[in-house]
A and B are shown apart, each in its own frame.
Chain A
Amino acid sequence: MTHADNRPAHLAHHFTDVEQQKDSAKLGMWLFLLTEVLLFGGLFAAYAIYRSTHIDMFYNAHKFLDVRLGALNTFVLIFSSVTMALAIRSVQLGDRRKALVNLGITLVCAGIFLVVKYFEYSHKFHMGQLPGKFYTFNGIAGSNPHIFFSIYFMMTGLHGIHVLGGIGTIGWMMVRTAKGEFSADYYTPLELTGLYWHLVDIIWIFLFPLLYLIG
């Protein structure tokens, strides 16, 4: 080991330098995001197939989703992506306090998203607009309206789990930022969390029109 003395503490033993470690982490994260896209891809494929075979039913069923709440959530998530990016910018500029504020706002937005989702879900539970065999609602014209809600709950549910994962990770990043683990020289975990959070937003940006805005 030639540079044993000037290796920073966060540099793992098997990497030659900080650059190599950072590049590896980023590539790994992008590959992980790719697996996420394919995970949701299966559901998008199911959506495309059943929408093409049930065009009228999908149109009739989508009217029972609240566009205003969906739009509100879309706005909340896009805004949280901005604050996430600002948090990383603040760390790059060495402003720990500002980074914490921005991460906090991101966390609150994620919370608001889930609260809105909770009200939407409980309304549907109340109305009996549930997946598959639990579907009891009467009043949607077209065959097999339960399929729409199977897909709706699968897609938004899987997305919701990812939001929960994001809340946990962002919270953990706040703790590490508060402890002063990140600086302008080293903020890779924060950057990776940002990438993940943007993916969660992008998936929602596809879900919103596909489910709420069927024309």
Chain B
Amino acid sequence: MQSPTVANYLNSPTGWKSWLFTLDHKRIGIMYLAAIMTFFAVGGVLALIIRLQLLSPHGTLVSANTYNQLFTLHGAIMIFLFIIPSIPASLGNFVLPQMLGAKDVAFPRLNLASWYVYVFGSLFALYSIVAGAVDTGWTFYTPYSTTTNTSVVSMTLGVFILGFSSIFTGLNFIVTIHKLRLPGMTWFDMPLFVWGLYATAIIQVLATPVLGITLVLLILERTMGIGIFDPAMGGDPVLYQHFFWFYSHPAVYIMILPGMAIISELVAAFTHKKIFGYKAIAFSSLAIAFISFLVWGHHMFTSGQSELAAMMFSFLTFLVAIPSGIKVFNWVATMYKGRISLETPMLYTLSFLFLFSIGGLTGIFLGALGVDVHLHSTYFIVAHFHYVMMGGTVMAFLGGLHYWWPKMFGKMYSEFWGRIATILVFIGFNVTFFTQFILGAKGMPRRYYNYLDQYQPLHAFSSYGSWILGLGFLIMFIYLIHSLFKGKKAPGNPWGALTLEWTNSSPPPTENFETTPVLTHGPYAYDTVVADRG
């Protein structure tokens, strides 16, 4: 424990300028966290309105046009403004250099630039809400996106700009991991969180430029009629889909890999046991990153792709299940005979394991060609990606947020309310989205404004779930904010974890470590080292 006057990264230097021009990766991480949580709240409120509209089959809460704009904005905000930057840019920025024993990321100025580019891109996206919200869906498929009179250009320009911030973060992390590890720390001494972020960064660097050029082509198609995607001019709209998913399928792994990376930390820390299959988990991250580039065609099984291509993409899609399965089995094996303590981060870890497994397995259904013809563009898809993205990534993100919260702010959150909120989120999530698997299997198409009466009970049940979910998040926001002002002071290592970031004080000093740390044990040496909580 330290007295409140001790200098740390939060209170030294002082003044708003020291924040806006900071080059400290920890402060940039906090600034990202604030922005990301704001957009998460906005996207969440949009989702609640969508569910409210769908409460009854002939609902007229919003107009049909507004409804189209609502689900587009919900998707675009959640994907591009929240989930893609979420874990790497906020928690990753804060923790990664500390885990490596470094003073900062390799390029601190690029890191700050990434935040400003993110804010700048977000402004474009927000502007397009004011200036006639986009109604194309977050995928901006041609030909509709080139003919609708909504503000597609400013929205896609925003996403184009956001891509740079993602590339900056990824590039920075790769170099940091290669060059700034503590002397003596080998690749296999690194925490698995770092491995996960490394795999993520590779995808960010390799895939994002392709999205960039795709959106430039879309903007030129719309403004100058270059004809590349316009069948009337000899172009091909399916080419747009290929380009888009060449980025956006790997982007799905930009979203899930950091989540998996967090789970590897949490599962070891809260079972107080050496992680099972360290190398298998590490290499499976790279395997997922590699395979992610070869499966984009499974978004186009029904878009007129050749049968041969569809079969190959289907087969390659099944391959993703192997490294994902390796991870899940290793986490479960880590828990076996462990000393499991059920604090909030561990509850989120268990939620992740349960929900991600369902999300992953239903992905296999969708990867099977015959089944996909029946299920594509139904609520089954909606449920599937919410199980992976929200049940997977968001659960892991919240687990990580609670795990590192004491380190970030030096305050403990209320464990009691934390557990209550986690349970509400878990129940609310399943009520909302498991129902949608059934809806989809019964043939309810996604993105419909009104629907047949027969789907009403399930839709209503799903909407009730969204209220439980919303309540869970509301409680979480309240106790987290409350903890900043009234929370108990956090010790340096509240969980008894063994990675390097827990060896310094909470919150850490401006330079991360008082003296250069010395690596005395591996990140998961729970079998030989006992770290006291505190």
Q: What is A's interface to B at a CB cutoff of 8 Å?
A: 12-16, 20, 23-24, 27-28, 31-32, 34-36, 38-43, 45-46, 49-50, 54, 131-134, 143-144, 146-147, 150-151, 154
Verify A24–B234 contact, CB threshold 8 A.
no
Q: 20 pairs across A/B with beta carbons < 8 Å?
A: A14-B102, A14-B108, A20-B180, A28-B172, A31-B175, A32-B171, A35-B205, A42-B213, A46-B217, A49-B239, A132-B221, A132-B224, A132-B233, A133-B224, A134-B224, A143-B234, A147-B233, A147-B234, A150-B226, A154-B217
Query: B243 an interface residue at 8 Å Cβ cutoff?
Result: yes
Given known contacts A35-B167, A36-B209, A54-B234, is B227 in contact with A28 (CB within 8 Å)? no
Verify B209–A38 contact, CB threshold 8 A.
yes
Instruction: Write out the residue numbers on chain A whose beta carbons fall within 8 Å of the beta carbon of B180.
Output: 14-15, 20, 24
Question: With A and B bound together, what is the CA distance between A36 and B206 in angstroms?
Answer: 9
Question: With A and B bound together, what is the CA distance between A80 and B206 in angstroms?
Answer: 29
Question: With A and B bound together, what is the CA distance between A186 and B270 in angstroms?
Answer: 48
Instruction: Write out the residue numbers on chain B whose beta carbons fall within 8 Å of the beta carbon of A35.
Output: 167, 171, 205-206, 208-209
Contact of A144 among B172, B224, B234 (CB under 8 A): B234
User: Which 3 A-B pairs give the minimum distances between C-beta atoms?
Assistant: A144-B234, A133-B225, A42-B213
Contact of B206 among A27, A38, A49 (CB under 8 A): A38
Interface of B is mostly: helix
| Nearest residue, chain A, Cβ from B234 | A144
Verify B213–A27 contact, CB threshold 8 A.
no
Contacting residues of chain B (56-91) with chain A, CB-CB under 8 angstroms: none
Instruction: Write out the residue numbers on chain A whose beta carbons fall within 8 Å of the beta carbon of B167.
Output: 35
What is the CB-to-nearest-CB distance from B22 to chain A, in angstroms, rounded to a whole number?
13
Query: B220 an interface residue at 8 Å Cβ cutoff?
Result: yes
Q: What is B's interface to A at a CB cutoff of 8 Å?
A: 102-104, 106-108, 110, 167, 171-172, 174-175, 178-180, 183, 205-210, 212-214, 217, 220-221, 224-228, 230, 233-236, 239, 243
Instruction: Write out the residue numbers on chain A whose beta carbons fall within 8 Å of the beta carbon of B108.
Output: 12, 14
Question: With A and B bound together, what is the CA distance between A145 and B57 in angstroms?
Answer: 50
What is the CB-to-nearest-CB distance from A55 to chain B, in angstroms, rounded to a whole number?
13
Given known contacts A13-B103, A23-B179, A133-B233, is B206 in contact with A34 (CB within 8 Å)? yes
Question: With A and B bound together, what is the CA distance between A103 and B175 in angstroms?
Answer: 29
Verify A132–B217 contact, CB threshold 8 A.
no
Verify A20–B234 contact, CB threshold 8 A.
no
What is the CB-to-nearest-CB distance from A149 to chain B, in angstroms, rounded to a whole number?
9
Question: With A and B bound together, what is the CA distance between A143 and B183 in angstroms?
Answer: 62
What is the CB-to-nearest-CB distance from A21 to chain B, in angstroms, rounded to a whole number?
9
Most buried by A among B174, B221, B225, B230: B225
Instruction: Write out the residue numbers on chain B whose beta carbons fall within 8 Å of the beta carbon of A133.
Output: 224-225, 227, 233
| Nearest residue, chain A, Cβ from B172 | A28
Verify A39–B226 contact, CB threshold 8 A.
no
| Nearest residue, chain A, Cβ from B230 | A132
Verify A49–B179 contact, CB threshold 8 A.
no
Question: With A and B bound together, what is the CA distance between A151 and B209 in angstroms?
Answer: 18
Instruction: Write out the residue numbers on chain B whose beta carbons fall within 8 Å of the beta carbon of A131.
Output: 220, 224-227
What is the CB-to-nearest-CB distance from B229 to chain A, in angstroms, rounded to a whole number?
10
Verify A147–B235 contact, CB threshold 8 A.
yes
Contact of A42 among B178, B217, B236 (CB under 8 A): B217
Verify B228–A150 contact, CB threshold 8 A.
yes
Beyond A131-B225, A151-B228, A154-B220, 17 additional contacts (C-beta under 8 Å) are: A15-B180, A27-B179, A28-B110, A28-B171, A28-B172, A28-B175, A31-B174, A31-B175, A32-B171, A35-B206, A38-B210, A41-B209, A41-B210, A49-B236, A50-B228, A131-B224, A134-B224
Contact of A43 among B107, B206, B207, B213 (CB under 8 A): B213
Question: With A and B bound together, what is the CA distance between A29 and B457 in angstroms?
Answer: 57
What is the CB-to-nearest-CB distance from A93 to chain B, in angstroms, rounded to a whole number?
28
Instruction: Write out the residue numbers on chain A whose beta carbons fall within 8 Å of the beta carbon of B107.
Output: 24, 28
Verify B179–A24 contact, CB threshold 8 A.
yes
Instruction: Write out the residue numbers on chain A whose beta carbons fall within 8 Å of the beta carbon of B243.
Output: 42, 45
What is the CB-to-nearest-CB distance from B378 to chain A, in angstroms, rounded to a whole number?
31
Instruction: Write out the residue numbers on chain A whose beta carbons fall within 8 Å of the beta carbon of B103.
Output: 13-14
Instruction: Write out the residue numbers on chain B whose beta carbons fall within 8 Å of the beta carbon of A39.
Output: 209-210, 212-213
Contact of A14 among B104, B172, B210, B224 (CB under 8 A): B104
Question: With A and B bound together, what is the CA distance between A7 and B414 in angstroms?
Answer: 46
| Nearest residue, chain A, Cβ from B174 | A31
| Nearest residue, chain B, Cβ from A13 | B103
Instruction: Write out the residue numbers on chain B whose beta carbons fall within 8 Å of the beta carbon of A43.
Output: 213
| Nearest residue, chain B, Cβ from A40 | B213
Verify B209–A31 contact, CB threshold 8 A.
no
